[in-house]
Chain A
Amino acid sequence: MGKTLFDKVWEAHTVRELPNGMTQLLIGTHLIHEVTSPQAFGMLRDLKLPVLYPQRTFATVDHIVPTDEREEPFSDSLADAMIKELRKNCADAGIRFFDIASGKQGIVHIVGPEQGITQPGTTIACGDSHTSTHGAFGAIAFGIGTSQVRDVLATQTMALRKPKVRRIEVHGRLAPGVYAKDVILHIIRRLGVNGGLGYAYEYAGSTFDNFTQEERMTVCNMSIEGGARVGYVNPDQTTFDYLRGRPYAPAQGDYEAAVARWKSFASDPDAPYDDLVKYDASDIAPTVTWGINPGQAIFIGENIPAPGELQEKDRSTAEEAYAHMKLRPGRPIKGTKIDVAFLGSCTNGRLSDLQEVAKYLQGKKIKSGVKAIVVPGSQGVAALAESMGLAEIFREAGFEWRGAGCSMCLAMNPDKLIGDQLCASSSNRNFKGRQGSPTGRTILMSPLMVAAAAVTGEISDAREIFGLS
């Protein structure tokens, strides 16, 4: 009987079984940022413990960084204290820090792959639930809490229970105007926001085979929104080509050996799975959320579901969603007026996201009255986009071109919704209050759909606005 990638990586990283039956799992790569690490360093100091493998921890600053006025001290003194705390903790422990001045700063889940730190067959942890992003490389990547950040700093391990594995196959080609974001929103809509509880998701099928590395990242990124802590794609030539030559990827002479090792982690054809679901790419249309969790999603041409069309168990959350979103059941989502358009985040803040939008946005203007911002996922993405002329296209269209960070995905920096503003967003969470205003409203969608909404001032079908067919 064959094994899944998950089984192989788990076995290679198992240190021992703990007395309570959990596994002590080695975490090869640890990524940290300013929000969930300071308390962990504080705990280490209380316990008088050193960082065991400082060379296997990498830090950056993303959640609280302003995207406009980036000089220190930041106007928000709390944010300023957080970056200084991280800088000091990294210096004291000898941890590499991709600081703002390095030119490598950015959202932790964009920086890891970009630097070649994220590699197949490895285990990765980070105090952030979107760590599942790194699974796109055939790594097993866990979002963790702060006490576990402490555990990894002190022991390079965590106590974990092995989840089950569900294989999610998507076959066929996506129609023009349909993107990886639509695939994951569709999966979450079908399986539910808690459907992945207790599972790791293995994404497979010809749609994934044909995806670029960045498209795979978009899907893996939102695994947690479907309740699965881990999501991954088996590594292949696309993965190996992406990693070649990146700063922390194996050097030229070691590269072939690394690729051979990486290949050996891929799931065997006869590997057993605890569950299997299949979707057809041609059934997926541009998808938008209408509610207060990412599972409350519909195709752009559909109407907001009425309570009677929902399963009984979903009705109370739906009622809460109608009230918060100020949307009426049974009505089209298309045509809903927007106030803000946000393009960025660890889900969709990569170069290919910006390239795809710029291709269609060129020569167009955003609707007067709409505030539209582009926040590149990293300084690396920003620099490339600027050198390729993409930034100029966005500025010409009326978007504000900002510095790298998490920004309005969770609004821990100055970028926030005001009052009950409605935001067309390429981010990953439409929770109540997520974008900084308790009454603010979020509609999740692909980057091109965000651009379409920015241009028309309302939720629109990007295929119609930009002439895709």
Chain B
Amino acid sequence: MALTKISQLAGTGVYVPGDDVDTDRIIPARFMKCVTFDGLGEYAFYDERFEEDGRPKAHPIDHPKYAGATILLAGRNFGCGSSREHAPQALYRHGFRAVLAESFAEIFFGNAITLGMPCLVMDGRDIRALAALIDEAPQTEINIDIPAGEVSMADVSFPAKLPDHAKEALVDGKWDAIADLLEGLDAVKATADKLPYMRVA
């Protein structure tokens, strides 16, 4: 299974401030009544973007100024709570290709990498500085250099970290683990055979 090698990303950004943004907020549970992920994009951050009667709340990702943004900036502990892959799926299908945040919840991070959507950790001050640059020049491209661990916009650059395993997975085009896992099936069976409970059904 050949996957795209993800080393460099470029696109415009949008900042959605706030810490501990949970996956219920990223995709409210009522939109998970589905048997495919198709169509989740329009419901990303739905209740943050719309009043209950459907009037828009002027959320940053709907602001014309940030139209077309593919890089999402966020705060601390982004994606906490539910393990729903619907959350990164909704962001990806909305058009996001990378998330930059102060920190990520673990399950969200893994789910996002498996989709080939890099999640890079930046210092909080750098996030806010980058957000200020975006605010001034929203249509200026941001460049993400994954091997170098760097995010830059115009002539300013910031360190942006990814754990080595995720960096390698993206750069080598192995961000979806299924191919690697399938290669180990003989070893899987050998391991399973040593565990008595695996024989009981």
Chain A, interface residues (CB within 8 Å), range = 35 or more
Give residues of chain B (40-79) contacting chain A, Cβ–Cβ below 8 Å: 47, 52, 76-77
Q: Let me know if A193 and B77 touch, CB within 8 A.
A: yes
Binary contact readout A428-441 vs B (1 if CB under 8 angstroms, 0 otherwise): 01011110111100
Binary contact readout B177-201 vs A (1 if CB under 8 angstroms, 0 otherwise): 1101110110110011011111011
Least Cβ distance of B16 to chain A in Å?
A: 13
Whether B133 is near chain A, meaning CB under 8 Å from some CB there, is no
Contacts of A158 in B (CB 8 A): 177, 181
Q: Let me know if A197 and B115 touch, CB within 8 A.
A: no
Give residues of chain A (286-328) contacting chain B, Cβ–Cβ below 8 Å: 293, 313, 316-317, 320
Known contacts A21-B164, A161-B165, A429-B24; A39 and B178 CB within 8 A of each other: no
Which residue of A29, A411, A431 contacts B81 across the interface (Cβ within 8 Å)?
A431
Q: Let me know if B106 and A197 touch, CB within 8 A.
A: yes
Contacts of B115 in A (CB 8 A): 147
Which residue of B24, B76, B164, B168 contacts A431 across the interface (Cβ within 8 Å)?
B24
Least Cβ distance of B188 to chain A in Å?
A: 5
Known contacts A28-B197, A28-B198, A76-B33; A147 and B114 CB within 8 A of each other: yes
Give A22 to B84 CA distance when docked, in angstroms. Answer: 22
Which residue of B30, B105, B177 contacts A18 across the interface (Cβ within 8 Å)?
B177
Least Cβ distance of A123 to chain B in Å?
A: 9
Contacts of B188 in A (CB 8 A): 15, 24, 26, 52, 155-157
Known contacts A22-B177, A155-B185; A412 and B76 CB within 8 A of each other: no
Least Cβ distance of B167 to chain A in Å?
A: 9
Contacts of A39 in B (CB 8 A): 35-37, 85
Q: Let me know if B24 and A129 touch, CB within 8 A.
A: no
Q: Let me know if A16 and B184 touch, CB within 8 A.
A: yes
The stretch that binds B, out of A77-85, A166-174, A382-390, A454-462, is: A77-85
Give A225 to B82 CA distance when docked, in angstroms. Answer: 9
Give residues of chain B (149-185) contacting chain A, Cβ–Cβ below 8 Å: 163-165, 168-169, 172, 174, 176-178, 180-182, 184-185
Q: Let me know if A144 and B107 touch, CB within 8 A.
A: yes
Least Cβ distance of A355 to chain B in Å?
A: 29
Contacts of B77 in A (CB 8 A): 193-194, 197, 227
Least Cβ distance of A249 to chain B in Å?
A: 10
Q: Let me know if B83 and A36 touch, CB within 8 A.
A: yes
Give A250 to B165 CA distance when docked, in angstroms. Answer: 39
Give A320 to B119 CA distance when docked, in angstroms. Answer: 25
Give residues of chain B (97-123) contacting chain A, Cβ–Cβ below 8 Å: 103, 105-107, 110-111, 114-115
Select the residue from A21, A39, A47, A250 with max chain B CB neighbours within 10 A.
A39
Known contacts A155-B188, A317-B20; A13 and B195 CB within 8 A of each other: yes
Chain B, interface residues (CB within 8 Å), range = 35 or more
Whether A229 is near chain B, meaning CB under 8 Å from some CB there, is yes
Give A313 to B124 CA distance when docked, in angstroms. Answer: 11
Contacts of B107 in A (CB 8 A): 129, 143-145, 224, 229
Contacts of A21 in B (CB 8 A): 164-165, 168
Binary contact readout A139-154 vs B (1 if CB under 8 angstroms, 0 otherwise): 0000111111011001
Least Cβ distance of A22 to chain B in Å?
A: 5
Contacts of B33 in A (CB 8 A): 64, 76, 78-79, 82, 412
Q: Let me know if A438 and B80 touch, CB within 8 A.
A: no
Contacts of B180 in A (CB 8 A): 18-20, 24, 159
Known contacts A145-B107, A145-B114; A38 and B35 CB within 8 A of each other: yes
Contacts of A159 in B (CB 8 A): 177, 180-181
Whether A425 is near chain B, meaning CB under 8 Å from some CB there, is no
- For the complex of A and B, 4 pairs with smallest distance between CB atoms: A55-B201, A145-B85, A145-B111, A38-B35
16 additional contacts (CB under 8 A) given A431-B24, A436-B29, A437-B52: A20-B165, A39-B36, A39-B37, A64-B33, A79-B33, A81-B35, A82-B33, A143-B107, A144-B107, A197-B106, A227-B80, A316-B17, A316-B19, A320-B18, A429-B82, A433-B24
Enumerate 12 A-B pairs (CB-CB under 8 Å) in ascending A order: A52-B188, A53-B192, A63-B29, A145-B107, A147-B115, A148-B110, A225-B81, A293-B22, A410-B82, A411-B29, A412-B32, A436-B29
